[in-house]
């Protein structure tokens, strides 16, 4: 009977995830992960076929956490549901800077195996219902607004801005109101 693994797959994944949260995705390599675990690299490659498999799991875990941010913001009922998704995106950028960068600020042009794990279908559905418009019009509205949301989130994630959520909320409402008049044209 083979010996019991020293670390489970979940323990390795959770340690790697913490490492990425703390130091960024570029800090993730087998040697540093093994050092953090206090072992050789062998348990890592026993649990995972290769580092790419581990990195995909980290992407999925980061996406799951981001989805929790959206669900929490919507269920708080502090904002209307569509606005809550934008506020959650910005909150995620502020509170989970390295994970935000991993999900939304990484190079993708050469990533043939990109998981495309973040969907905007719910947001498009919210817009079509709010304005009674086609999916195409809803997507156009979303892209216009999301350029602002992503810009603010990126500036926060890179410590260029340090706005409070009250200011962000007021500005997001202003941008939303400025764009909504053109959605039915």
CA distance 144 to 104: 17
Count how many residues are written for the chain: 185
Q: What is the per-residue pLDDT for 107?
A: 78
For 7-25, what is each residue's pLDDT tens digit?
899 999 999 999 999 999 9
Per-residue pLDDT band at 3 (split at 50, 70, 90): low
pTM of the entire predicted model:
0.90
For the chain, give the percent of residues with pLDDT over 70. 91
Closest by Cα among 21, 47, 24 to 34 = 47
H/E run at residue 74: helix 51-76
For the chain, give the percent of residues with pLDDT over 90. 83
Is pLDDT of 93 > 90?
A: yes
For 79, other C-beta atoms within 10 Å of its C-beta total 18
Is pLDDT of 133 > 70?
A: yes
Q: Residue 121: is it exposed, middle or buried by C-beta count within 10 angstroms (0-12/13-18/19+)?
A: exposed
CA distance 111 to 67: 22
79 close to 42: Cβ distance less than 8 angstroms: no
Quote the Cα angle for 82-86-88, to 5°: 110
Is pLDDT of 1 > 60?
A: no
* CATH class of segment(s) 1-48: mainly alpha
74 close to 126: Cβ distance less than 8 angstroms: no
For 156-179, what is each residue's pLDDT tens digit?
999 999 999 999 999 999 999 999
- Interaxial angle between packed helices 51-76 and 9-23, expressed in degrees from 0 to 180 and rounded to the nearest 10: 70
Is pLDDT of 32 > 90?
A: yes
Domain ranges of the chain: 1-48, 61-180
């Amino acid at each position: 009977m083979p010996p019991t693994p020293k670390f489970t797959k979940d323990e390795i994944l959770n340690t790697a995830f913490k490492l990425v949260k703390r130091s960024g995705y570029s800090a993730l390599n087998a040697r540093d992960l093994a050092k953090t675990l206090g072992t050789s690299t062998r348990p890592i490659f026993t649990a995972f076929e290769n580092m790419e498999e581990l990195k995909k799991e980290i992407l999925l875990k980061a996406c799951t956490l981001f989805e929790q941010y959206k669900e929490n913001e919507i269920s708080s009922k502090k904002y209307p549901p569509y606005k809550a998704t934008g506020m959650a995106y910005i909150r995620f950028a502020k509170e989970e800077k390295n994970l935000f960068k991993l999900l939304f600020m990484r190079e993708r042009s050469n990533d043939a195996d990109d998981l495309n794990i973040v969907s905007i279908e719910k947001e498009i559905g919210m817009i079509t219902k709010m304005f009674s418009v086609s999916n195409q019009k809803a997507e156009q509205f979303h892209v216009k607004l999301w350029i602002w949301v992503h810009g603010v989130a990126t500036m926060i994630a890179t410590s260029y801005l340090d706005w409070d959520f009250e200011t962000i909320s007021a500005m997001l409402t202003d941008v939303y109101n400025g764009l909504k008049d053109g959605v039915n044209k």
